[in-house]
Amino acid sequence: MTENGIGASVRRKEDYRFLTGKGSYTDDLNLAGQTHAYFVRSPHAHASINSIEVSAALASDGVVAVLTGDDLAADGIGPLICGVNVTSDDGESHRAPPHPALALGKVNYVGDHVAVVIAETIAQAKDAAEKVEVDYGLLPAVTDTATAANDDQQQIHDVAPNNVCFNWPFGDKAVSDAAFKSAYKVSSIDLLNNRMVTNPMEPRAAVGEYNSGTEEITLHLTTQNPHVHRLVLSAFNQLAPEHKLRVVGPDVGGGFGVKIFVYAEELVVGWACRKVNRPVKWTADRTEAFLADAHGRDHVAHAEMALDENGKFLAMRVNTTANLGAYLSTFATMVPSYLYAFLLAGQYSTPIIYSEVKAVFTNTAPVDAARGAGRPEATYLLERLVDVCAEDMELDPAEIRRRNFIPVDAFPYQTPVVQCYDSGDYNAALNKALVLADYGTFSDRAKEAESRGKRRGIGLSSYVEACGIAPSAAVGQLGAGVGLWESAQVRFNPTGNVQVFTGTHSHGQGHETTFAQLVTEQLGVPIENIEIIHGDTAKTQFGMGTYGSRSLAVGGVAIAKACDKLIEKGKKIAAHALEAAEGDIEFSDGNFQVAGTDKAMNIAEVAFTAYVPHSYPEGLEPGFDENAFFDPMNFSFPAGTHVCEVEVDPETGVVEIIKYSAVDDFGKLINPMIVEGQVHGGIVHGVGQALLEGCQYDSDGQLITASYMDYAMPRADNVPSFDVDYAPTNPPHNPLGVKGCGEAGAIGAPPAVINAITNALGIKHIDMPATPENVWRAAQTATS
């Protein structure tokens, strides 16, 4: 390991600009001649639009334009699309209702986009938006996930009878039913996975500018994937040809999935800047973020496990209804299907799994991927069910997990739900986590708490996730419209410093440091001479962006492969300069050396020679600049066990997390400091879901949790500090030996917290969020 190389907790290169207020977020950008956009949004969950009267708004001070869906349609822009096919049980593709970026005759959720006002100032745009008169014809709203497909519900879209997007069975029902018939015991649970609003702290924003001389649109966006935005906006939304559209994602203030998607506002801003031939800026306020960002989770499920007399899992069957909201967001269909059902095996060798997923439309904001995306839903369901099994079998929760873990010698392990896990040692992580959590002495602490009138509980969660998304062939078979490789370019400048262009995007993950560590380790260039560049389609050759914990596992490997090419080329240049055979050149610590001699030149000298090739190998191209693409052979499968210990006050229902211990297998760690930070953040995201966050619509479809006054984000005084450790195994298919760490906490935490609460109260189940009111009610029932 070099001082700043792989395994070092290097302090982050990006921090200085963030700490001094010099970050460059989308809303920080003001362009000369800039106008401001404000969207007129539907106040109703479900309504026809009889008319839109814009004349008063147009006459308002400072207004440049007022544009509606008719204007958008006349220009042939849109509609928005969903990029992943799921085949429904009738053999047809999932139902995809029209998704105009500005409403055409109908609105389908509160916050739906009706018109856009463009004015000289944002205040003038808001003032004018009040003067847009929309005549709505109200329709009954559908908001409840569980009953959305009932016959008596209002149909939202003509193309989707009973509001069903797809019915997607997976597995062999007859085989599963037979296993259940012969089971020693069947454990079951009904639960919901609460709807969440993702809430990165930076609201979404877009600044568009049009150059009439070159006919190029530049869109500055809060995006996790600039090239994906460009591709979709160009190929599917008809905004501009790909070579005439530049997407720039500068510093982005958190993503967690919600900035993957192509949104109406982004398309409209891109279109409007050309229409008015002036730059157009739009920044969401937080209320708009609550209303119109894609939401996450929102499942209702029933799950059963068939067990033998030793507590071995024989078969599992799951019935899930997933709420996709009013329209299909960019990757919506993939989340409750492939990213969910294919993780239902968890860490266990359950031989038979049968799953049915019904995805429904409702008059709520679109639902799509949010930190973990499908995998938290699968893990929560499974890990809650396993605790119910333990209770039914009178086994310790740790013991029933051990009895069912996929053994360490069974890898690679083909699950019954498509995924083939490449590596793992689930017992190792569990055992380490139990030690870290002082699991063995828990009963002493529970007794002590009881003497104070409190109830202690301890809960486990043993999760596995599929990330490093993803092998292109695999996702292609599943119906994805894109390949999910990653690209990198590593360029030496003649003076010896290095610019690395990556197709991934950093919005808090610290890529500028982690990726520089990879390069300093491999090429021996001092880390301060390495710059990581991302987030601009005009700079980076191509890329699929950052989500699914893929940046290091896929993008990092692309960087390493480009470095490999530089070393190979460098050997030729060095061999020529040092008058040696290429086969005799060895490269280490930044030096090309003739083996067994002290003849050497460093990589900066090689780079200079490549750009000033006065004496150079015959036929070799000048330049020291290589690119590489990497398409992984498999997903990666991080796993771990989290242990949460809580103390419940039965008088108030307040749950305090006393101790939280996490032992994860992420493979090799490049920067342990950054990895630990990702774990902390993920855990609190999961604790937020378990204890605090619940997105609520009323029966009329009004979002009643549309601000930080009403939607409880986890705050510093809601959570403890954490004990984090690792139990790594080596993923054989990943050249860097890495697995990904960004989502683990959000996946592992919710069941650990809820299992601790049910343990404390001696109850079978409590739904999330376990707010003081819900816990207090459960405590009353438990004691009565």
Partner 1 sequence: MLTVSLNVNGESVSGEVEDRTLLVEFLRENLRLTGTHVGCDTSQCGACVVHVDGFSVKSCTLLAAQADGTDVTTIEGLAENGELHPMQQAFKDNHGLQCGFCTPGMVMSAIDIVKRNGSGVDEATVRKELEGNICRCTGYHNIVNAVQAGAKKMGN
Binder among 139, 280, 367, 683 for partner 1 (CB under 8 A): 683
Among 745, 748, 750, 769, binds partner 1 (CB under 8 A): 745
**Spatial distance between the Cα atoms of 737 and 586, rounded to a whole number of angstroms:** 24
* Per-position x/- string for 241-280, each x denoting binding to partner 1 as judged by CB under 8 A, each - no binding: ----------xxxx-x------------------------
The least CB distance from residue 13 to partner 1, in Å, is 10
| Residue pointed to by tokens 């002493």 | 444
**Residues 287-306 contacting partner 1, CB under 8 A:** 287
Q: Is 401 helix (H, G, I), strand (E, B) or coil?
A: helix
3-state class (DSSP) for residue 335? coil
Q: Considering beta carbons, is residue 108 or 504 the nearer one to partner 1?
A: 504
Q: At closest approach, how far in Å is the CB of 528 from partner 1?
A: 15
Angle between helix 557-577 and helix 603-611 axes, rounded to 10 deg: 80
The helix (run of H) or strand (run of E) holding residue 38 is: strand 35-41
- DSSP letter string, 622-683: S--EEEEEE--SS-B--EEEEEEEEEE-TTT--EEEEEEEEEEE-BS-S-HHHHHHHHHHHH
- The least distance separating partner 1 from the CB of residue 24, rounded to whole angstroms, comes to 8
Residue 142 phi/psi, 5° resolution?
A: -115, 120
- Smallest separation (angstroms) from partner 1 to the CB of 44: 22
DSSP 469-519: ---HHHHHHTTBSS---EEEEEEE-TTS-EEEEESS--SSS-HHHHHHHHH
Of the candidate residues 329, 502, 509, 602, the single one contacting partner 1 (CB under 8 A):
509
Scanning 41-49, 453-461, 611-619, 672-680 for contacts with partner 1 by CB under 8 A, the matching segment is 672-680
In whole angstroms, how close is the CB of 507 to partner 1 at the nearest point? 5
Binding status of residue 202 toward partner 1 by CB under 8 A: yes
Q: How far is the CB of 697 from partner 1 (least distance, A)?
A: 19
The dihedrals phi and psi of 461, each to the nearest 5 degrees, come to -145, 115
Closer Cβ to partner 1, 620 or 704, answer by number: 704
Question: Does position 286 bind partner 1 by CB under 8 A?
Answer: yes
Provide, rounded to whole angstroms, the least separation between the CB of residue 57 and partner 1. Answer: 20
- Closer CB to partner 1, 327 or 726, in the complex: 726
Closer residue to partner 1, CB minimum distance, 286 or 599: 286
Contact, 183 vs 177, CB < 8 A? no
Q: Scanning residues 94 to 153, which ones bind partner 1 (CB under 8 A)?
A: 123
**Per rule CB under 8 A, count of chain residues that contact partner 1:** 57
| CA dihedral sign, ordered 391, 393, 398, 404 | negative
The nearer residue to partner 1, 196 or 567, going by C-beta atoms, is 196
Q: Give rounded-to-5 percent helix, strand, coil for the chain.
A: 30, 25, 45
Interaction of residue 680 with partner 1, rule CB under 8 A: yes
For 596, how many CA atoms within 13 A lie in the half-sphere containing its CB? 4
Nearer to partner 1 by Cβ, of 79 and 111: the residue is 111
Residue whose CB is less far from partner 1, 251 or 356: 251
CB nearer partner 1, residue 373 or residue 400 = 373
Q: Determine which residue in the list 83, 249, 270, 508 makes contact with partner 1, applying CB under 8 A.
A: 508
Residue 507 interacting with partner 1 (CB under 8 A): yes
By CB under 8 A, what part of segment 684-713 binds partner 1?
A: 684-685, 707-709, 713
The β-bridge relationship of strands 591-594 and 600-602 is antiparallel
Report, in Å, the least distance between residue 744 CB and partner 1. Answer: 12
Q: Which residue has the tokens 């592992």?
A: 748
Query: Which positions from 1 to 40 touch partner 1 by CB under 8 A, shown as an x/- string?
Result: ----------xx-xxxxxxxxxx-x-xx-x----------
- Tell me if 398 sits within 8 A of 366, measured CB to CB: no
- Minimal distance, residue 440 CB to partner 1, in Å: 25
Q: Which of 199, 350, 419, 689 binds partner 1 (CB under 8 A)?
A: 199
φ and ψ at residue 196, rounded to 5 degrees: -125, 150
DSSP state of 753: H
Reported in sequence order, the residue ranges of 147-261 that DSSP labels E, i.e. its strands, are: 164-170, 185-193, 196-197, 205-211, 216-221, 245-248
Using CB under 8 A as the binding rule, whether residue 201 contacts partner 1 is answered as yes
Angle at 345 between CA 340 and CA 346, to 5 degrees: 85
CA 535/CA 336 separation, integer angstroms: 29
Q: Residue 143 or 678: which CB sits closer to partner 1?
A: 678
Answer whether 509's CB lies under 8 Å from 679's CB.
no
Pick one of 51, 441, 615, 721: the residue that binds partner 1 (CB under 8 A): 721
Minimum CB–partner distance for residue 652 and partner 1 (Å): 18
Out of 424, 653, 681, 731, name the contact with partner 1 by CB under 8 A. 681
Q: How far is CA 4 from the centre of its chain?
A: 28
Q: Which of 617, 677 has the CB closer to partner 1?
A: 677
Which residues contact partner 1 (rule: CB under 8 A)?
Answer: 11-12, 14-23, 25, 27-28, 30, 123, 199-203, 251-254, 256, 285-287, 507-510, 673-674, 676-677, 679-685, 707-709, 713-717, 719, 721-722, 745
